[in-house]
A and B are shown apart, each in its own frame.
Chain A
Amino acid sequence: MEVTTGARTAAAPPSAPDPHGGGRPATARRTRRRRDDSAVAGLFLAPGLLGFLLFIVVPLAGSALISLYEWPLFGTPVFIGLDNYTKLFGDPAFFTALTNTLVFAFVYTALNLALAIAIALWLGTRMKGAGIWRVVFFLPVITPMVANALVWRLMLSDDGVLNSTLGGVGIEGQSWLSDSRFALAAVIAMSVWQSFGYNVVVITAGLTAIPKEILEASRIDGTNPWQRLRYTILPMISPSLFFASTMTMIGAFQVFVQAQVLTQGGPGESTNTLVLYLYRNGFSFDRLGYASAIAWMLFVVVMLVTAVQFAGQRRWVNYDK
């Protein structure tokens, strides 16, 4: 997303801000004279800045430090240098969790966006109560994920409602949660269900911002719907798509509850994820140092993926309207 660090807005009309947090900075400066409000700013910033330092900056640095220790929940930490990292790079479960998380992140993000675009377009067609349906799809986004995952676990279990329904129409059910061929897919399916409604709203906002005339003109040019989608609509909503894909991807790397509740990371390690592995190492296996090393790896991976996304945006994201 493009960040506006522009200064004080002067004559900007009180219109709705750009939907995607990006937008054009209103840079018209009212005064040229340099003014320094440091003292007042200090007061206003103090609570936020203090919290920011204490609960974000310090822990981030602390995480790096802790990863150099063997750090139990109860007892004295011992400095062990880079041993946690050496161990991590020789730990097959870590690499499995990393691979699972990457697969999850990419497949989940792709499905999530594809579904969100499809539903958002559909809800944009002629129908009654589009707003209500949008809210319906949004619902699981704000219900507790634990509750959502629990009911999915019940539905997907061997003798759950999915298999009995399939059985009713003569299809043999599968062990969705206990067969390593399906377990990760089941976790992805549940996660997409849970969250794509959010992107439906984001993309709808992008769609409504497209001027009607442009679509009309395109239609008059004799394009078919697919061409209009491919060459007009998608480029026009590319900033929304970029924002949605970046944030969805970052969210995807945090996958934890779904794996923990649906499959406990199994069968085998087939649904173990970085955050689940981090949590278990830190708080079940009593290895906070090792968990911090995993946390740093997670941090690095997320940064890399986000950086790649930002680097790639120039090719497909169109900020001109």
Chain B
Amino acid sequence: MTSEALATRRRAHRRRTTLTWLNTAAVAAVALLFTFPFIWMFLTALKPSNEVFSGSALGSEVRWQNFSDAWTLVPFGRFIANGFFVAIAGAALSVVVAVLSAYAFSRLRFRFRDRLFLLYVATLVLPQEVLVVPLFIMMNEAGYVDTYAALIIPFAFTAFGTFLMRQFFLTIPVEYEEAARIDGASRVRTLWSVLLPQLRAPLSVLGVFSFIGYWNSYLWPLIVINTQDKATVPLGLTMFTGEHGTQWNLVMAASTIAVVPSLFIVVLLQRQLMKGVSMGGFGGR
């Protein structure tokens, strides 16, 4: 290779590096613009209440106490605790149900299996909103209005989890289990100690997505929850609008607090999230 060719290559390489950085800067700028609503949320949360509608980034003073005010004006700590409880319990239930059903659909043989599974899958396209009126009436008749159970149980049985887990089960060779079965392990034992350890990633994917679904859910809690004691975070956010209006700076402070757990999830679990989505997790929104 001649020195001239080397120089050309080096120049090309340098140009490419510059281009890469320019490109990165452009994406960064777009991403910054994209996150502007969150930035504005945070900035507004620090303003005095009568400056919420001013166009400037900072108010006449920076009021960190808005966060503590938001916390005490409505029992926001309670909403967060409720939200976590409902989301964790709901996610756990969804995962258990999905794993058991998916095992049956992928590993067991029984009459009508494929037809039943098709029926499951068909409900993937069913908007949950179609069901809220009868679900509400059922909950009311059963005396479950305004309970955690009403928040958690009805939405833990969507076909989605079963569908997703089954897809994963089908990727695992059946030999491992057969070996265990020959050694005399029960089906539950095989599922628990042979299959599940290989499915840690998909399980956490399903768990995280169920968690997010519960954490962000609004329409159903709005319908079925009557008291602040049981309200979850999205419902709590709307409670700042009272008989005498809305305190926007506090709403934004509360919204900022509500966004933080999602932020943590994204940062900590981004690999699982991205994997989950690309495997068709979460069912689109």
Contacts and interface: CB of A to CB of B under 8 A. Distances in A.
Do A's and B's CB atoms come within 8 Å in the complex?
Answer: yes
Given A144-B237, A257-B219, A155 B167 contact: no
Contacts of B76: none
Contacts of A145: 216, 218, 234
B137 A66 contact: yes
Interface stretch (B1-9, B65-73, B260-268): B260-268
Contact of A47 (B100, B163, B274): B100
B162 interface: yes
Contacts of A275: 127, 129, 219
Contact of B37 (A126, A137, A148, A291): A148
A268 interface: no
Given A11-B173, A14-B172, A250-B127, A45 B104 contact: yes
A48 B98 contact: yes
Interface stretch (A18-26, A87-95, A228-236, A311-319): A18-26
A44 B103 contact: yes
Given A48-B101, A126-B20, A146-B237, A56 B285 contact: no
Contacts of A198: 277, 282, 284-285
A202 B278 contact: yes
Contacts, number: 330
B219 A205 contact: no
Interface size class of A (residues with CB under 8 A): 35 or more
A17 B53 CA distance: 50
Nearest to A130: B27
Contacts of A142: 212, 216, 262, 265-266, 273
Interface of A: 1, 3-17, 19-21, 23, 25-26, 30, 34-38, 40-42, 44-45, 47-49, 51-52, 54-56, 58-60, 62-63, 66, 71, 122-123, 125-131, 133-148, 150-152, 154-155, 157, 159-161, 164-165, 167-168, 193, 195, 198-199, 201-202, 204-205, 243-244, 246-248, 250-251, 253-254, 256-257, 261, 275, 278-279, 282-283, 288, 291-292, 295-296, 298-299, 302-303, 306
Given A137-B31, A155-B40, A306-B125, A40 B168 contact: no
A47 B40 CA distance: 45
A202 B279 CA distance: 8
Given A47-B97, A142-B265, A26 B170 contact: yes
A283 to B, nearest CB: 6
Contacts of B171: 9, 12, 14-17
B103 A56 contact: no
A178 to B, nearest CB: 14
A63 B134 CA distance: 6
A265 B161 CA distance: 33
Interface residues of B, number: 107
Contact of A157 (B53, B216, B274, B285): B53
A69 B21 CA distance: 65
A148 B256 CA distance: 10
B159 to A, nearest CB: 7
A8 B138 contact: no
B135 interface: yes
A272 to B, nearest CB: 15
Most central of B16, B125, B218, B283 by chain A CB within 10 Å: B125
A296 B130 CA distance: 7
Given A127-B27, A151-B44, A45 B101 contact: yes
B109 A52 contact: no
A154 B40 contact: yes
Q: What are the 7 closest A-B residue pairs judged by CB atoms, nearest first?
A: A247-B284, A164-B55, A51-B157, A205-B278, A21-B280, A48-B101, A62-B134
B74 interface: no
Nearest to A34: B109
Given A40-B104, A51-B97, A138-B273, 15 more contacts: A3-B121, A8-B107, A13-B173, A44-B108, A48-B97, A54-B157, A56-B157, A58-B134, A66-B133, A126-B23, A135-B267, A139-B35, A142-B266, A147-B41, A202-B280
Most central of A41, A136, A151, A244 by chain B CB within 10 Å: A151
B128 interface: yes
Given A49-B101, A63-B131, A139 B170 contact: no
Given A51-B156, A146-B218, A19 B279 contact: yes
A123 to B, nearest CB: 7
Contacts of B162: 48
B193 interface: no
B259 interface: yes
A266 B109 CA distance: 54
A198 B233 CA distance: 22
Contact of A303 (B27, B125, B255): B125
Interface string B163-184: 1100110111111000000000
A191 B135 CA distance: 27
